[in-house]
Structure formats: C-alpha cells, structure tokens
Amino acid sequence: MALPKISPYAPPCGPFASRAGWSVERGRAALLVHDMQRYFAAPFPPAADPLESVVRHIARLVAAARAAGIPVFYTAQKGDQFRPDRGLQADLWGPGMRGLAEHEEILPELAPNPADHVLVKHRYSAFQRSNLEALLRARGRDQLLITGIYAHIGCLCTAAEAFQRDIQPFAIADAQADFSAEKHRMAMEWVSDCCGGVLGTDAALAAITENA
C-alpha cells in the first residue's frame, strides 16, 4: 500500500489537442501547486527528471504568477490523520504521512509566501472539504492552472472537479509529475479529451505575463 518507487522519465511538455477551445487569461487565472510535499516527492529519484525539471517549472510559474497578481494556491496534507477521517484512502495507500517536517513540509524551492493560500488536503481533489472554489470566486477567477503531483491522481481529480464547478482547468504538463511516463501521458490525454486544456510551462508563462 506504500507509494511506489518511481523511475526517471522525461515529462511531456504539451500541448495536447483539447476538445475545449479555451485560452489562459491572466485576469481570470489562478495557479495551484498540488501536494508538493516531501512525503510525496520522496519516491522520485533525486536530482533527476521528472521531479527536478517539474520543481524548476513550478518555481518559474509561481514567481510569474506573483509578479502578475495572480493568486497562488497550495494543497498540503496533514500527517497522522485520524483513521476514520482518512476514509477509503487508507484502504489503498495505508496510513499516509506522519506529522513530521520531513513528511509534511512543502519543498523549500516552492515554499509559499504569506500572500499565498495553503489549503489542507483531505481527498484526491483539492476542492474536497476546502474553500478553494469560494476563494476563487471571491477573486473573480474561473480558470485554474494545475501543477504538482501526482498527475493521474490528485491533479486529474482536481481538474475534473474544477470542470464540474464551471472553472476551466489547465493541466501544465511539464509542471506535473507522476508514477510513470505512461500514467502521466494518460492523465494529460484524459484532461484534454474530457475536461480542460493541457499546455507546457512556456505557453502558460507567456499567457500569464502578457501585458503584466
């Protein structure tokens, strides 16, 4: 039930042909950094792709979003979850992380600042049992750029739920990482075919910095 050991691979950079004809708009977008905690990053090989380049790409997006006045959201689980509260996730993944800094801490290269919003993560989707939608609506944001780990689990479920809440999701393909290249590509193809846009970091940066 533990997280698998992940072999190196090069993340896809997109774009993928999308059923939706949406484009990222700086005045409508928010950025999500999904589950970039030490516990979830630990299965990746150190100093290698996909994690090495993904961290670099997310850092670029975070810096650009802050400079452009785009809200930045983070998700982060808490360790030592109460078993009934953890629910069915425990059946698939065991007890999860411990309440220790080496598990809970967001990677220091991506550390949130006081103006960012850190949401406590309870289920795969960042919308579950959080006020993410309310925070987006209050800021006039109806597009969500999704980065982080894991592409075919939490990132994919967040994109699907955003779509169902009439928030346009955009998966940033080379700013997400996954268990394998195959699962990563499957997630990008599913998003592009069923619920949102998929693009690379450079294209996302161009969109959010336009006229900034």
Q: Is the peptide bond before 15 cis (omega within 30 degrees of 0)?
A: yes
Q: Are 135 and 67 in contact (CB under 8 A)?
A: no
Q: Are 61 and 88 in contact (CB under 8 A)?
A: no
Residue 123 CB neighbour total at 10 angstroms = 18
Helices in the chain by DSSP H: which ranges?
Answer: 38-41, 51-68, 83-86, 89-93, 101-104, 132-138, 156-164, 181-194, 201-209
Which residue from 177, 170, 161, 157 is spatially nearest to 199, judged by alpha carbons? 170
35 tagged catalytic: yes
Q: Which residue has the tokens 């049992």?
A: 129
Catalytic residue among 35, 80, 116, 193: 35
Tokens standing for 194? 């069923």
Tokens standing for 115? 């103006």
Residue type, 43: P
Sign of the torsion formed by the C-alpha atoms of 60, 13, 116 and 108: negative
Tokens standing for 68? 């452009």
Q: What are the residue numbers of the active site?
A: 35
